[in-house]
Amino acid sequence: MQLKTEVLIVGGGATGVGIARDLSLRGIPSVLIEKGDVASGASGRNHGLLHSGGRYAVTDPEAARECISENRILRKIAPHCIEETDGLFISLPEDGLDFQDQFLRACKGAGIPTTILSRDEALDLEPALNSDLLSAVKVPDGAFDPFELILENARDAEHHGAKFLLHTEVTSIAVDKNMAKGVIAKDLIHGEEYSIHASYIINATGAWADQFLKFAGLRIGMALSKGSMLITNQRLNQRVINRCRPPSDGDIIVPSHTVSILGTTSVRSEEVENFDVSSPEITLLVKEASKLIPAVQESRFIRAYAGIRPLFQSEEKGDDRAISRGFVLIDHGIRDGLHNLITVTGGKWVTYRLMAEKTSDLVCQKMGINLTCSTHLKPLPGAGERMSVTERLKKIGQRVLKDYGEIICDCELVPREEVENFLKGEEVKDFQDILHRTRLAKGTCQGGFCVYRLLGVLHDLEVVKGDSNTILKGFLEERWRGVRPILWGSSVKEQELVESIYKGIFNL
Amino acid sequence: MHYDVIVIGMGLSGLMAARTAAEIGKKVLIIGKGAGSLCLFSNTIDVLAVLPKGIRFNDSLPQWAKDRPEHPYSKLGWEKIHRALSSFISLFPPPYSFQTTGIENGSILTGAGTFRPTYLIPMTMVAGTSLKEGDGLIIGFKGFKDFYAPYVASHLKCRGITLSLREAILQEITATALSRLFEKESFRETIGKEIKRHLNGETRVGLPAVLGIKDASRVKKGLEEIIGAEVFEIPTLPPSIPGMRILYRFKEWLIQRGVTFLLGHPVSKANLKGKSCEGVVVSHPPITNSYTADRYILCTGRFIGGGLAADKEKVFEPILNLPVFHPKLREDWFKNSFFNRHPIHEAGILTDPSFLPIDENGNLLLENVWVAGSILAHHHCFEEKSREGIEIATGYWAAKNAFQI
């Protein structure tokens, strides 16, 4: 099939989808192509921390300023995707208070509001904290739902005319002298081939940026940094808990829905796709996080996962944490003489909108038109309409008391009706898409029961694509990557349960 | 109160040990915090499904056991396993009996549309073993979220239909609630007639394994008379109603024989003196009681049952603190693929041929405690499909050995 568009965006992460929304609001037609579902890469593999910028204030003031400015904008345009938790930076005896002074000065410089709390005030707010703490600083951190935020951007972009080709992979770029004329792509589900012509191509492939550029015979330096995270079975804290020291391993605990997420590590990775959380990383995360909240030591964990930070590497090398978390926008016309190709990579989730704005500005500049950005002014479609995370949590409690039909996930209380509505509404293509769009398989049993039920519902509605037991086995393998590193204590029982069902009863 | 034997654990191995001791007139106390895996996963009696096809266990098991000298079956041999199985079978006289489908395993249909090889099959499932592609009508129920007829049917190229229940409009219905409904004749009448209306030449009708807890054979027969086709059960997600039938039958028999049941609270501690167990402590808050016996049989299962537990460094046995054989490093407990045989499956308690616990060097640890069931080391019950077989055989023989008969 032949397609023609003004701007082709490659990559369905926060940046790519953000660009699609930005361009669509400016009235510029675009097609977004993504080989998986939206948020398949780092955009879906992070701790969902709405940075105040505090974490970068000392080491990377520019990234800190970007964070606080975007933090304020997101609270306005996407209140339903955000839980306004605030965050605390905790000073522990072993770290001392020296860094706190530096931290406070740097926050002031970056425009991040701070409040100093005494030990008792901090423990009053967060009773689970290590009671040896010296002092704490409150900053406007928050927690956001990465999937909901990216889907909201996608909905708005589609509403304004952007076209999305998900589960579609670029197989080559057609380069003619100094122009990239388009790409050849393949629909991975139906096998259809697309030839897409575009006036401009944007490489928003994140960690895959260098790989994608190889299609055009170009290279850029990327430092791929794996960050691992660990999910507890319970929510241990109400505010984001950070350690007040230079960024290091295991110094953040983010409350998220009903759980807490411990993060992160930073390990140089050569792989963009095949990476796992190692046992030493788990040990390190538990050890460090339990210094902030001692209950972490005895917590039950439900999953470990990792994402790849797409850090752009300038010439000088060093510690990955020292590489700027700011983003980079490359005009390949200036850099390589390929006039209509742009790469945008690096950056933070929280700055996705700013990255999209700057990229779209560059597109407009190249087109020679003067259309301004409005993504910071226009709320996303669900704002004021869709339930916020907090409201949703309250509603869940009430829901089960009423007759809401089958609850197919008992851990996260997902009604069958919710899955059926997704299948009726948006274009959901495969089983993974449903898992991305609901809380299914995200609770204590990690899909041990509900994934069989989900396949059952799909059979009831006659929408199963392929052999359901092959899908089931694939899911169990994917689940395994997340649970294998944390199998001790109660998790070992859970594992025996899942094996007893799928290897035992069902003989898969 | 002093007993001849205290059985710790109320899963299949514990029940079997209690039965064996009660049968020879011993005074038995059985203590369990629950019925373990029995009421969750057990439907049929798996014995072993990794032997060459078409050969009797008697002919192929000796060689298999010889290759695995540490396997619990190797302490027994087929003759003894068979005697234990016969004892189990005799507890279930017709009509609700357990049957074999020939000299080897039969294959039963499961809730994922797969077939599973197994040895002893309850009469309610037998008709599903010889199902031919296309000849079967699978029935599910709206609101029963643990079974999906079209899912099962799609793998068999037959029809699967989901019926609505007046009893479950706009709400869920559980396996136990459905089982109780099936015990009512009026319910069978309504559902049976509806199934008959949907029948289109099929000679067999498959339903989830919820055809009554008490009198499944009567439920099956009643439905067959109304529908005019053979009815069979299909095991699915936990809980297992057929497992509950096994528990109830054991309970009925054991109580008749004067066995004392203590259900709901686990043994929290054992008093050990040298190589002897002098008593066990059960705490039923706010009361704590001690019980004593001449002999003890430990049948506490694996991780779900609480027989084994793991922390970040090791696997341990929480009641008697017996040494647990297991791979030393946590990284080595599990392999890369979910579907691998994981080394931790082999973890468990080492015993001598009479099921007395020993350490790695073969030294006897306790002289009046026998160990039975899935807590034993050196089996892969998932891959071997041997869980119930090991439980029955070792439970039976641990009790026999304890009384030297």
3-state secondary structure of A241: strand
B138 and B177 co-located in one domain: yes
Residue A371: how many other CB atoms lie within 10 Å: 16
**Low-confidence residues of chain B, pLDDT below 50?**
none
Question: Considering the domain boundaries, does residue A393 fall inside one?
Answer: no
Question: What pLDDT shows up at residue A324?
Answer: 60
Confidence band of A315 (pLDDT split at 50, 70, 90): very low
Question: Considering the domain boundaries, does residue B102 fall inside one?
Answer: no
Burial class (CB in 10 A: 0-12, 13-18, 19+), A255: buried
Question: Considering the domain boundaries, does residue A164 fall inside one?
Answer: yes
Q: Which of A294, A317, A340 is the C-terminal boundary of a domain?
A: A317
> Quick check: B116 and A507 CB within 8 A?
yes
Q: Are the C-beta atoms of residues A48 and A140 closer than 8 Å to each other?
A: no
Question: Considering the domain boundaries, does residue B109 fall inside one?
Answer: no
Q: Are the C-beta atoms of residues B87 and B20 closer than 8 Å to each other?
A: yes
pLDDT at A317 over 50: no
3-state secondary structure of A50: strand
pLDDT at A430 over 80: no
Domain CATH code at residue B198: 3.40.50
B228 and B282 co-located in one domain: no
> Could you list the residue range(s) of the whole structural domain that residue A160 is in?
2-42+147-221+324-367
Domain CATH code at residue B291: 3.50.50.60
B268 and B398 co-located in one domain: yes
Q: Are the C-beta atoms of residues A102 and A52 closer than 8 Å to each other?
A: no
- Give contacts of A507 with chain B, Cβ < 8 Å: 110, 114-117, 385
> Could you list the residue range(s) of the whole structural domain that residue B365 is in?
2-41+253-402
pLDDT tens across A331-378, in order?
Answer: 999 999 999 999 999 999 999 999 999 999 999 999 999 999 999 999
Minimum-distance CB partner of B110 among A459, A495, A506: A506
Q: What is the domain count for chain B?
A: 2
> N- to C-terminal Cα distance for chain B?
25
Taking the CA of residue B309 and the nearest CA in chain A, the distance in Å comes to: 7
Question: What pLDDT shows up at residue A431?
Answer: 84
Confidence band of A316 (pLDDT split at 50, 70, 90): very low
- Give contacts of B385 with chain A, Cβ < 8 Å: 507
A215 and A252 co-located in one domain: no
Confidence band of A399 (pLDDT split at 50, 70, 90): low
Kind of pairing between the strands at A2-10 and A30-33: parallel
A354 and A427 co-located in one domain: no
Minimum-distance CB partner of A279 among B114, B170, B331: B331
> Quick check: A459 and B41 CB within 8 A?
no
| Full DSSP string of A316-327 | S---GGGS--SE
Mean pLDDT of chain A: 91
- Give contacts of B302 with chain A, Cβ < 8 Å: 496
Q: What is the domain count for chain A?
A: 3
A355 and A424 co-located in one domain: no
Chain B segment 283-342 residues within 8 A of A by beta carbon are 302-304, 309-312, 330-331, 333-334, 336-339
Domain CATH code at residue A357: 3.50.50.60
Cα–Cα distance for residue pair A55/A48, rounded to 1 Å: 14
Q: Among B118, B142, B146, B151, pick the best mutation site for testing chain A contact (most A Cβ within 10 A).
A: B151
ipTM of this predicted complex? 0.97
Distances (CA, A) of A116 to A95, A322, B73: 17, 27, 67
Cα–Cα distance for residue pair A190/A187, rounded to 1 Å: 6
Q: Are the C-beta atoms of residues A253 and A289 closer than 8 Å to each other?
A: yes
B394 and B279 co-located in one domain: yes
Average pLDDT over residues A387-396: 67
Q: Are the C-beta atoms of residues B152 and B160 closer than 8 Å to each other?
A: yes
Question: Considering the domain boundaries, does residue B66 fall inside one?
Answer: no
The β-bridge partners of B45 are B120
Average pLDDT over residues A92-116: 97
Query: Which amino acid would we find at residue A471?
Result: I
CB-based contact, B230 to chain A, within 8 Å: no
Question: What pLDDT shows up at residue A321?
Answer: 55
CB-based contact, A400 to chain B, within 8 Å: no
Question: Considering the domain boundaries, does residue B150 fall inside one?
Answer: yes
pLDDT tens across B148-207, in order?
Answer: 999 999 999 999 999 998 876 667 899 999 999 999 999 999 999 999 999 999 999 999
B225 and B308 co-located in one domain: no
Q: Which secondary-structure segment (H or E) carries A210?
A: helix A209-214
pLDDT at A425 over 90: no
Taking the CA of residue A470 and the nearest CA in chain B, the distance in Å comes to: 11
B223 and B130 co-located in one domain: yes
Chain B segment 42-101 residues within 8 A of A by beta carbon are 43
pTM to 2 decimals? 0.90
Q: Are the C-beta atoms of residues A332 and A343 closer than 8 Å to each other?
A: yes
Contacts with A391 (C-beta within 8 Å, 6 or more apart), sequence order? none
A289 and A168 co-located in one domain: no
Question: Considering the domain boundaries, does residue B107 fall inside one?
Answer: no
B226 and B278 co-located in one domain: no
A238 and A305 co-located in one domain: yes
Taking the CA of residue B293 and the nearest CA in chain A, the distance in Å comes to: 31
The rounded percent of chain A whose pLDDT value lies above 70 is 93
Cα–Cα distance for residue pair A87/A252, rounded to 1 Å: 10
B145 and B177 co-located in one domain: yes
Cα–Cα distance for residue pair B195/B156, rounded to 1 Å: 19
A109 and A187 co-located in one domain: no
CB-based contact, B361 to chain A, within 8 Å: no
φ/ψ (deg, to 5) at A184 = -105, 135
